[in-house]
Amino acid sequence: MKINLLSTRPWLLLLGCAALCTSAVGCQTTVGGQTLPSAYYLRDDLQYYPAGPEFKLSKQVQAIEEYKARQQGLTDLNEQP
């Protein structure tokens, strides 16, 4: 059997094998309903996200309270003779 290197069939077969190999290595996979980590999870750098406030709108509530305090302060000044 003689293989012609200029034909497209061997190159397509090689490209298909390369695509299959690269898509199956180093990724998370799902087996039987379980999400399994990649093969490099022990060497992966960890990211730490510190816990935030329990109430997510604390800045908005603080801004509203400051606004109300300013409004009451202005009305108190206007009420004085």
Q: What is the mean pLDDT of each run of 10 residues along the chain (81 residues)?
A: 69 80 66 79 81 85 93 63 45
Task: Report pTM.
Answer: 0.30
Number of H helices, E strands in the chain: 2, 2
d(CA 37, CA 61): 41
Give the per-residue pLDDT at 3. 64
Give the per-residue pLDDT at 42. 78
Give the per-residue pLDDT at 2. 66
Q: E strand or H helix at 34, and its extent?
A: strand 34-36
Cβ neighbors of 29 (< 8 A, separation 6 or more) are 35, 36
Give the per-residue pLDDT at 60. 94
Q: Which residue has 């060497």 as its token pair?
A: 43
